[in-house]
Structure 1
Amino acid sequence: MARRSKTYSGPVTDHFNGRHFFDPDGVPPKSVRHILRWQFGGERKRSVWPEWAPSPHADTPPERVDGSRARLSFVGHASWLIQTGGLNILVDPVWSERVSPFSFAGPKRHNDPGIAFDALPRIDAVLVSHGHYDHLDIRTLSKLTARFAPRVVTPLGNDLTMLEKDSKIRAEAFDWHDRVELSSEIAVTLVPTRHWSARGLFDRNTALWASFVLETPAGKIYIVCDSGYGTGKHFRRVAEAHGPIRLAILPIGAYEPRWFMQDQHMNPQDAVQALADCGAEMALAHHHGTFQLTDEAIDAPALALGEALDAAGVAREKFAVLKPGQVVEI
């Protein structure tokens, strides 16, 4: 894969050294040698997913949700439609068949999006957490731009990735801790998360990654699209700086093998601890069941989450696992 022709340039900070972003409380991404060991090493045990695992649900959202309610529709993987305060907001929208730089190879969908693209209401804003292909999907962003021309809020450097492919995307790039007003009632703050970013082999961490705290009339929603757990410091800091949190959206999938994935992806046990750390009233699980990125079985994250909640003495209703097309209202 070719390196992007443009990369972010800005002042040195506590998480940018002038060329690359880094997490002061994290670790660098695994090396190519580690990738080859995982992919081709003799110890690999990759579960086989069913070719197609359709969801029995499909959502047709309303045009708007007003008042003090929030309606969250699970599109699949890490994609959500959040409707609240009269705004329609998409998170990491992916309607493409594959999450890959290629249309003919790479991780392929195992179920349809929970909302058909033509059933989407008018989209006002899009939040894109980082540059990995299962989160930043240029094809989908271009389709959204052509139909709705929404604002696209993303961490530093990812705007360059978008605009290089489609100059009409209304990309706005921000740093950690920046607060962006989306309307008089709704704002989003980009917060640090334990992850990394790349579009190819030679552009690692030249763009930033983030989680989001979304302020809504229904309360604050903490959206973690991709994260390792580490010591849990990031989650506790969100509780301290942004609490109380009404709802957390936390990843539970893409975690095996642990020796490779633990620094960048939480497993269900980590996610239960992250829920406790951030202090949210309840959580919704995502980042599982649509694209096979790692080695665990398609149903392993949901099963392991139930076991982890039981072991922690947390009611299973507090941390819900949805299928694409299911809806939660708060």
Structure 2
Amino acid sequence: MTLITRRRLLATFAGLAATAGLSSFWASRMTSYKGPITDHFDGERFFDRDGAPPKGWLDVLRWRFTSKPAKWPDWLPNASTDVPPPRVTGSAARLSYVGHASWLLQTGGLNILIDPVWSERVSPVSFAGPKRHNDPGIAFDKLPKIDRVLVSHGHYDHLDLVTLSRLAARDAPRVITPLGNDLTMTGHDAAIRAEAYDWSDRVELGDGVAVTLVPTRHWTARGPFDRNRALWASFVLETPAGKIYVVCDSGYGDGRHFRNVGAAHGPLRLAILPIGAYEPRWFMKDQHMNPADAVMALTDCGAQQALANHHFTFQLTDEAIDAPEQDLYAALDAAGVPRERFRVLKPGQVFEI
């Protein structure tokens, strides 16, 4: 094996940390969940009866060695930087886009972070893997006191242990996550106050705010030997401003997950839907929506308003940095959906209800 080939293999394994759930090619970092068999857990691994399993190793390597990723700018300074208020009370909700799938939701007197990632890389190693192309939309030291954290699954671009440890040391928030991900968190830092729940579990967050974990078409891992040994989920939040459906990562499939949420939890005031990390489609279709899928998901769930996420900050796949936004506008126009119904924020921008 040549030196160039060895280097490319190393970059491949490290770079797949977020999109294929690899921690490295020599070790796994996710502690396995143990619990009763259910309709989506076989005693060892979780599964989605309406989903699709992750791609195998041959497909992973085929993608990595045949892909022609677009060149992203090395750095794009944010046009906006948010300094949130200490609290938002009454019937209002304030959402600040931190970047990628990270949000600060302020409502009902609570400050809630969703999939918080302040690290420079979303990777198990500090020297390789997807790197930020812009700063978080809120500087960490400008965050208000955080009361609750929602973490959707174990991929590195969503479960950032360093950030969770910083939050635990500063504010000791409750961390709500699907089954098994709590073991990864507390195994890293026992101070992380992780609580694990199953699909359909409803959790009171306090002050009239609650969250229900709902199925989503995805998967999880942090190493090559722990695929789907923890659960993944989306969230439906009940807030004084209405119900907010947060999808941090998902494929579309036949849309039934989105229709089910609309039927069971509607009407929805807002949906946060992923639009990025979708090329090439032969590899990404089952795990990541493209913008056209996201428009169909909005129609399926029936939300009054949508915001886009899972784009612009980390280059996980092959499309250009601005492709998700431009493809979303084209998809909205083709579907006859007003562009203002599905907004695209940049890090540091705010949406208020």
Both proteins in one fold, TM over 0.5: yes
Alpha-carbon distance in structure 2 between the residues aligned to 1:166 and 1:237 = 36
2:142 to 99, 119, 141: 119
What residue identity is the alignment partner of 1:24?
R
1:33 aligns with 2:58: yes
1:205 matched residue in structure 2: 228
Distance in structure 1 (CA, Å) of the matches to 2:165 and 2:207: 27
Aligned 1:3-22 pairs, distance under 5 A: 3-4=28-29, 6-22=31-47
What is the one-letter code of the residue matched to 1:123?
I
Tell me which amino acid in the other structure corresponds to 2:266. G
SS in structure 2 of the partner of residue 182 of structure 1: strand
d(CA) in 2 for partners of 1:274, 1:125: 27
Deviation at 1:76, TM superposition (A): 0.2
Task: Deviation per CA, 1:20-74: give whole Å up to 9, x if none.
Answer: 0000000100001100000013xx2210100001220000000000000000000
What amino acid does structure 2 have at the position aligned with 1:253? Answer: G
Residue of structure 1 equivalent to 2:76: 53
User: Deviation string for 1:151-188 (max 9, x for gaps)?
Assistant: 00000000000011101100000000000000040000
Structure 1 residues 105-134: Cα deviation after superposition (integer angstroms, max 9, x where no partner): 100000000000000000000000000000
Report SS of the residue matched to 1:145: helix
Mapped contact 2:30–2:226 kept (Cα < 8 A): no
Structure-1 residue corresponding to 2:12: none
- TM-score in terms of structure 2 length: 0.92
Q: How many residues align?
A: 328
Cα distance change of structure 1 residues 267 and 5 upon mapping to structure 2, 3 Å threshold: closer
Amino acid of the structure 2 residue aligned with 1:33: L
Q: Give the Cα–Cα distance (whole angstroms) in 2 for the partners of residues 213 and 148 of structure 1.
A: 24
SS in 1 for 2:206: coil
What residue number does 1:270 align with?
293
Q: Are 1:291 and 2:314 matched, yes or no? A: yes
TM-score, normalized by length of structure 1? 0.99
Unaligned runs of 5+ in 2: 1-23
The unaligned stretches of length 5 or more in structure 1 are none
2:242 to 219, 238, 255: 219
Q: CA deviation at 1:5?
A: 6.7
Residue 328 of structure 1 is matched in structure 2 by 351
Q: Which residue of 1 aligns with 2:257?
A: 234
In the TM superposition, what whole-angstrom CA distance separates every residue of 1:227-263 from its partner, at most 9, and x where no partner exists?
0000000000000100000000000000000000000
Picking from 101, 104, 115, the partner of 1:78 is 101
Q: Is the Cα–Cα contact under 8 Å of residues 30 and 223 in structure 2 kept in the other structure?
A: no
Cα deviation digits, residues 237-293 of structure 1 (max 9, x gap): 000100000000000000000000000000000000000000000100010000000
Q: Residue 173 of structure 1 corresponds to which residue in structure 2?
A: 196
What RMSD in Å do the two structures reach over aligned CA positions?
0.7
Deviation at 1:3, TM superposition (A): 1.9
Q: Percent identity?
A: 74
Equivalent-residue separation in structure 1 for 2:155 and 2:57 (angstroms)? 16
